[in-house]
Amino acid sequence: MGLTIVHQIILGIIQGITEWLPISSSGMTSLVMANFYGITDISMLLQQSLFLHFGTFFAALLYFRKEIKNLFISNKKTLNFLIISTIITGVLGILLMKFLIGINLELTGKTISFVIGIFLLITGGMQLVSRKKGLRTENNLKISDSILPGIAQGFAVLPGISRSGITTSTLLMKKFDDTSALRLSFLMSLPIVLLGNIFINLPDITEVFTPISFIGLLFSFVFGLLTIHLLMKISRKINFAWFVIIFALLMMISVLI
C-alpha cells in the first residue's frame, strides 16, 4: 500500500512534534504506518521514517543556526565531539539499518507495536537512571565524551529507541547539565540525519523522493520549527520518563488483549 497525501501530512505532523520528545519519532511514525496504513515492510518503515527526519533536520538547522556557525569559528571542542560521535554513530547505525533492511521481514502491526513498546521501555528506563543533575557544560567536553553518545545514537535507528531521549540520557549520565545535554543531543542529530539519508535512501531515490513524500517533509519541517522552542522548554521542567514507560506498557498490553 502506497502513502497518500493525507498519510504524508499526518506522518509529517507526528514527526515534527515527536522529534523533540524522548518517545521516538521513528517509533511513532512506524506505529501509525503499521497499524493504520497497513505497511509492515521493515525496509519501507525505516526508509520513510528516516526521510521524514529531513524535515526536522532543516528545522533544527534553522533553529540552531547561530550555534552551528560558532562551531567553525570558536567552538572547536563541540565540533570535535560532533565529528567523532557522528563517525561512531554512522558505522554502527548503517550496519544495523542495512541488516534490518537486508533481512526484509514482513511483520504484523501488533508485532511491530510490541517490539517498539519494548524499546520505549528501555528509553524510559535510561531517562530514570540519568535524572541526577550535572554541572558540566560544552566547555568541559573531552574526546572520550564522544564515544558513549555516539554508540547510543547508533542504536536509535531501531524504531522505539528515542534518539533524543537516549543521547540526552547518556550525556546526563556523564554529568552534563540539562541545557548542555539537550543542545548537544540536538546538534548530534544534524550530521547523522544528513548522512543517513545519503547512504540509506539515496540508492532508492526514485522510491523515497517523490512529489507526495515532499509534502510529508514540508509538514515535518513546519511543525518541527513551530514546536522545537516550546518543547525544549517543557522537557527541561517535566520528567518524561514515566510518560514513556506508561505509554510503552499500555501499548504492549493493547497488543496482548
pLDDT digit string, tens, across residues 14-26: 999 888 776 778 8
- Per the structure block, which three cell numbers stand in for 167? 543521547
pTM of the model: 0.79
Identify the pLDDT of residue 208. Answer: 66
Identify the pLDDT of residue 107. Answer: 63
Residue whose C-alpha is closest to residue 199's, from 84, 76, 92, 119 = 92
Q: Are the C-beta atoms of residues 12 and 52 closer than 8 Å to each other?
A: yes
Identify the pLDDT of residue 191. Answer: 92
Measured between alpha carbons, how far is 132 from 83 in angstroms, rounded to an integer? Answer: 27
CA-to-CA dists, residue 88 to 11, 57, 110, 145, 152, angstroms: 29, 19, 32, 12, 9
Q: What would the pLDDT profile of 64-94 be if each residue is shown by its tens digit?
A: 888 888 887 777 889 999 999 999 999 998 8
> Which residues lie below 8 Å from residue 2, measured CB to CB, with a gap of 6+?
none
Low-confidence ranges of the chain (pLDDT < 50): 1
Identify the pLDDT of residue 257. Answer: 58
Q: Are the C-beta atoms of residues 82 and 187 closer than 8 Å to each other?
A: yes
Alpha helices in 130-240 (DSSP H): 147-155, 163-173, 178-196, 205-208, 211-237
Identify the pLDDT of residue 207. Answer: 64
